[in-house]
Chain A
Amino acid sequence: MDLFEYQGKQYFAKYNIPVSAGGVATTVDEAVAVAATAKYPVVVKAQVQVGGRGKAGGIKLANDEAEVRLHAKNILGMDIKGHVVKRVWVEHASDIAEEYYASFTLDRAAKQHLLMLSAQGGVEIEDVAAKDPTAIVKLHINPIDGLSLETARRASVEAKIPAQALDGVADMLVKLYNCFTQGDCDLAEINPLILKPTGEIHALDAKVSLDVNASFRHPEWAEYAATEELDAREQLAREKNLQYIGLDGTVGIIANGAGLAMSTLDVVNQVGGTAANFLDIGGGANAELMTAALEVINSDPKVKSILINIFGGITRGEEVAKGIVEAVKRVALRAPIVIRLDGTNADEGRKILADAGIPESQLTSRPTMLEAARAAVEMAK
Chain B
Amino acid sequence: MAIFVDQNTKVIVQGLTGGQGRFHGLRNKAYGTQVVGGVTPGKAGQDVEGIPVFDSVADAVAATGANASFIAVPPKAAPAAILEAARAGIGFVVCITEGVPAQDEARVFATLQRDYPATRLLGPNCPGIISPGKCNIGITAGEIAQLPSASGPNVGIVSRSGTLTYQALYELKQQGIGVSTCVGIGGDPVPGTSFVDCLAQFQADPETHAIIMIGEIGGSAEEEAAEFITNHVTKPMSAYIAGVTAPAGKKMGHAGAIVSGGKGTAQGKMDALRAAGVQIGLNPTEAGILMAEIVRTIRS
Which residues of the partner chain B approach A269 to less than 8 Å between Cβ atoms?
244-245
The binding surface of chain A is classed by DSSP as mixed
Name B's A-contacting residues (CB within 8 A).
Answer: 27, 75-76, 99-104, 106-107, 109-111, 114, 139-141, 143-144, 159-167, 170, 187, 189-190, 214, 216-217, 219-221, 224, 240, 242-247, 250, 252-257, 261, 266, 282-285
Residues of chain B with a CB closer than 8 A to A262's CB: 161, 216-217, 242-243, 246, 252-253, 257
- Sample of 28 A–B contacts (CB below 8 Å): A106-B103, A106-B106, A106-B190, A108-B219, A111-B109, A126-B261, A143-B106, A143-B110, A211-B103, A214-B101, A214-B104, A258-B187, A258-B257, A259-B164, A259-B165, A259-B187, A259-B216, A262-B252, A263-B240, A265-B243, A266-B242, A266-B282, A269-B245, A280-B253, A311-B167, A313-B144, A313-B163, A343-B170
In the bound complex, how far is the Cα of B256 from the Cα of A342, in angstroms? 26
From residue B144, how far is it (CB to closest CB) to chain A in Å? 6
B285 contact set on A, CB distance < 8 A: 368-370
User: Which residues of chain A are near B252, meaning CB under 8 Å?
Assistant: 245, 258, 261-262, 278
Identity of the chain A residue whose Cβ is nearest the Cβ of B247 in the assembled complex = A247
Query: Are B107 and A143 touching (Cβ within 8 A)?
Result: yes
> Distance in Å from the Cβ of B40 to the closest Cβ of chain A?
20
Q: A108-B189, A245-B252, A263-B242 are in contact. Are A184 and B103 (CB under 8 A)?
A: yes
Is A198 interfacial (CB-CB < 8 Å)?
Answer: no
Q: Does A63 belong to the interface (CB within 8 Å)? A: no
Residues of B within 8 A of A369 (CB): 283-285
Pick the contact of A258: B107, B190, B254, B266 (CB < 8 A).
B254
Residues on A facing B (Cβ under 8 Å) = 106, 108-109, 111-113, 126, 142-144, 181, 184, 186, 211, 213-214, 216-217, 243, 245, 247, 255-263, 265-270, 275, 278, 280, 283, 311, 313-314, 342-344, 368-370
Inter-subunit contact B163/A266 (CB<8 Å) = no
- The answer for the CA separation of A109 and B263 in the assembled complex, in Å, is 12
Which residues on the A side are within 8 Å of B221 (C-beta)?
108-109
Would A216 and B166 count as touching, CB distance under 8 A?
no
**Which residues of the partner chain A approach B170 to less than 8 Å between Cβ atoms?**
311, 342-343
